[in-house]
């Protein structure tokens, strides 16, 4: 533990997760009016790394958490996270949190890799810090949301197409195939089946009743894979086999998802769309979703220490 100018610096422990979440939510609320992270988002990645070496917390003299930094997984790459209380009077604390990530990153890899940092588009302070540290602007992500004031319109399916929920132990391979086929782009790295399962079937958040599959001739041709977070419904992946695209199946799956969440009393459903897919952005607008946030990604190449 290190003390400096009435600030206390130390690594995080699992007992700090709720306190860190509260800080992240304060930052997100200051940027966009409401939080966008839940406790599982924090603990899931903490459980995969040695947080004693990969995290840094900063406390004020009164015990209030003022800053958080972490070097976490981003697939095979690194994710640099850094947050500072929006009410903090320490004007250089964000720079110091980023400096921790920059110093820590090279010590936890054994080959050259890419480090990613994502900041809210309205957070020009942290964006400038990243540019000053020679991070390059990358993709940006629009968060789209559907908010239902009345029961959502139910979809009309093409002849021969039905919808059902996911069957664990039966549908994993078929759904993975649909998602990989739908997301295929030149130079995109495919997600192996085991890695996809680890990411999508987490026991703490996965509910098979919120995974909706479009079926034709007894085969899975489309999927909407959703989760019920404290902040609302979230569609993590939506995909339709290429040969079935253009038939309204994707829109039908989304509208079906909105309806099932509404029946649960969840009236807001959101998702994220990459700037590399402007056609997807327009598609989500057509089904009644609006852009509510933008997050900007910055990257830098990192070599092992």
Q: What six digits make up the tokens of 298?
A: 């910055």
* pLDDT the model gives residue 295: 95
* pLDDT the model gives residue 188: 77
Q: What six digits make up the tokens of 55?
A: 């995290």
CATH class of segment(s) 150-266:
alpha beta
Please answer whether residues 268 and 147 qualify as being in contact, where contact means their C-beta atoms are separated by less than 8 angstroms: yes
| Per-block mean pLDDT, blocks of 10 residues, the chain (305 long) | 77 98 96 89 92 97 96 94 92 96 98 97 96 95 94 94 98 98 85 92 93 98 95 95 96 97 97 81 91 95 96
* pLDDT the model gives residue 89: 81
- Cα(239)–Cα(169) distance, integer angstroms: 20
List, in order, residues 6 or more apart from 38 with CB less than 8 Å away.
21, 229, 230, 231
* pLDDT the model gives residue 204: 83
* pLDDT the model gives residue 75: 84
Q: Concatenated DSSP letters for the chain?
A: -EEETTEEEE---GGGHHHHHHHHHHHHHHHHSS----HHHHHHHHTTS-HHHHEEEEE-TTS-EEEEEEEEEETTEEEEEEEE-TT---TTHHHHHHHHHHHHGGGG-SS-EEEEEEEETT-HHHHHHHHHTTPEEEEEEEEEEEE-SSPPPPP-PPTTEEEEE--TTTSHHHHHHHHHHHH--TTPPPPPHHHHHHHH--TTT--GGGEEEEEETTEEEEEEEEEEETTEEEEEEEEE-GGGTTSSHHHHHHHHHHHHHHHTT--EEEEEEETT-HHHHHHHHHTT-EEEEEEEEEEEEE---
Q: What six digits make up the tokens of 134?
A: 């020679």
* pLDDT the model gives residue 4: 57
The CATH-assigned architecture of domain 2-140+296-302 is 3-Layer(aba) Sandwich (3.40)
Same CATH topology for 2-140+296-302 and 150-266: the answer is yes
What residue spans define the domains of the chain? 2-140+296-302, 150-266
Please answer whether residues 259 and 211 qualify as being in contact, where contact means their C-beta atoms are separated by less than 8 angstroms: no
Q: Is the pTM of this model over 0.75?
A: yes
C-alpha R_g of the chain: 21
The closest of 57, 100, 52 to 78, measured between CA atoms, is 100
């Amino acid at each position: 533990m290190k003390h400096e100018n009435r600030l206390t610096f130390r690594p995080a422990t699992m007992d700090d997760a709720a306190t860190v979440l509260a800080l992240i939510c304060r930052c997100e609320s200051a940027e966009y009016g409401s939080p966008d992270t839940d406790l599982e988002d924090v603990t899931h990645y903490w459980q995969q790394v040695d947080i004693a070496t990969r995290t840094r917390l900063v406390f004020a003299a009164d015990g209030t958490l003022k800053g958080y930094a972490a070097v976490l997984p981003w697939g095979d790459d690194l994710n640099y996270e850094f947050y500072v209380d929006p009410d903090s009077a320490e004007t250089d604390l964000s720079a110091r949190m980023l400096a921790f990530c920059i110093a820590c990153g090279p010590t936890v890899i054994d080959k050259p890799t890419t480090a990613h940092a994502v900041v809210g588009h309205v957070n020009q302070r942290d964006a400038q810090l990243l540019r000053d540290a020679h991070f390059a602007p990358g993709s940006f992500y629009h968060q789209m949301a559907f908010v239902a004031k009345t029961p959502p319109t139910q979809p009309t399916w093409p002849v021969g197409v039905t919808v059902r929920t996911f069957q664990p132990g039966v549908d994993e391979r078929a759904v993975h195939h649909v998602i990989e086929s739908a997301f295929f782009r030149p130079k995109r790295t495919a997600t192996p089946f085991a890695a996809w399962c680890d990411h999508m079937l987490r026991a703490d958040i996965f509910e098979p009743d919120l995974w909706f599959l479009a079926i034709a001739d007894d085969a899975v041709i489309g999927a909407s894979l959703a989760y019920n977070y404290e902040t609302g419904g979230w569609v993590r992946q939506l995909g339709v086999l290429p040969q079935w695209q253009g038939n309204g199946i994707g829109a039908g799956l989304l509208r079906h998802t909105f309806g099932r969440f509404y029946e649960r009393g969840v009236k807001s459903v959101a998702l994220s769309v990459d700037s590399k897919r402007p056609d997807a952005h327009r598609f989500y607008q057509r089904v009644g979703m609006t852009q509510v946030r933008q997050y900007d990604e910055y990257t830098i190449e990192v070599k092992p220490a």
